[in-house]
Amino acid sequence: MASTPIRPDPWQSLAALTAARIGLGRAGGSVPTQPQLAFQLAHARARDAVLQDLDVDALNAQLTGAGFESLRLASAAKDRATFIARPDLGRILDDASRQQLETRAQSAPFDCAVVIADGLSARAVLAHAVPLLTELCARLAPSEWRLAPVAIVRQGRVAIGDEVGVLLPARMTVLLIGERPGLSSPDSLGIYLTHDPLPGRSNAERNCLSNIRPPEGLSYAVAAHKLAYLMHEARRRQLSGVELKEDAPPLQLMGSAAAGMARLSD
């Protein structure tokens, strides 16, 4: 029996420039076997990323090795199945975590609280959170920024950073979270900046940087550069969200002549 020839796709030459599924060709009335199997593998990886539990010990070891103090917290979603079925429980701390923060609350607020939550991809958090945080701290003058211990939150969603920020307390929160996996990006990290965190804040009151996953997505250096700019502007203007635009100068144009400018200080 003669095999059905694969008809080439005119877009095939562009496939090397993107992870998107273009130029797959045709085999009869369907796509060829190899792209079909690759699609099924990508779908399985995306599902695995959503279902994977965060290895808190491994993340804590990364933070300790990079010189960061950390706190271990958890949302009110007791396990991964509950986290997926009840998004509302992923937005609030459990009682033990709330009590832990209340016990260590400080009279003077921190300038910023960094929160790392697994979100919908623990894989993204383990791969990218600590390298990004290291890049960020290299751009923040210690004399100008008093950072809270890094809060690791299991089964956490974006809004949980507001409660952490209130209880620490902190003037702003930077939340690093695993984004919803796509079929070409199961390990994408997102950043959410919120000035004056309070429970009930809407997403319109936050700034977001997305798709941090070098080399395919945003690099750590570029993401940290943009985030440092937003943090300084949020503090200067006392706001975040739709009224705060990310207008950081191009990273490659910043020379070594001004170390203060490299830190984006006020």
Dump pLDDT digits (tens) for 9-55.
677 777 777 777 777 777 777 888 888 888 888 888 888 788 889 99
Instruction: Provide the token pair at 46.
Output: 């995306």
Give the helix ranges, DSSP H, for 30-150.
33-51, 56-65, 80-85, 95-103, 122-137
Q: Give the domain CATH number at 183.
A: 3.40.50.11240
> How many domains are there within the chain?
1
Give a yes or no: residue 6 inside a domain. no
Q: Furthest-apart CA pair in the chain: how many Å?
A: 80
Q: How many CA atoms lie within 13 A of 87 on its CB side?
A: 5
Question: 188 has which bridge partners?
Answer: none
Radius of gyration of the chain (CA): 21
Give a yes or no: residue 213 inside a domain. yes
Please state, in angstroms and rounded to a whole number, the distance separating the CA atoms of residues 191 and 231: 12
The phi, psi pair for 262, rounded to 5°, reads -60, -30
Q: What is the CA 218 to chain-centroid distance, rounded?
A: 11
Give a yes or no: residue 37 inside a domain. no
Q: Which of 111, 222, 103, 90 is nearest to 156 (CA)?
A: 90
217 compared with 28, residue with greater pLDDT: 217
User: What tens digit of pLDDT does each residue of 145-178 get?
Assistant: 999 999 999 999 999 999 999 999 999 999 999 9
Instruction: Provide the token pair at 26.
Output: 């045709």
Contact 164, 173 (CB under 8 A): yes
Neighbours of 20 (CB within 10 A): 12
Taking the C-alpha atoms of 260, 262, 263 and 266 in order, what is their torsion angle to the nearest 10 degrees? 60
Q: Which of 131, 181, 183 is nearest to 18 (CA)?
A: 183
Q: What share of the chain is helix, strand, coil (3-state, %, to 5)?
A: 40, 20, 40
Polymer length of the chain: 266
Which helix (H) or strand (E) element contains residue 229?
Answer: helix 220-237
The reported pLDDT for the residue numbered 28 is 78
The reported pLDDT for the residue numbered 260 is 38
The reported pLDDT for the residue numbered 17 is 75
Range of the domain at 102: 56-262
Give a yes or no: residue 15 inside a domain. no
Give a yes or no: residue 60 inside a domain. yes
Instruction: Provide the token pair at 264.
Output: 């984006």
Instruction: Provide the token pair at 18.
Output: 């993107």
Contact 169, 146 (CB under 8 A): no
User: What tens digit of pLDDT does each residue of 237-259 get?
Assistant: 999 999 999 888 888 644 433 33
Give a yes or no: residue 14 inside a domain. no
Give a yes or no: residue 47 inside a domain. no
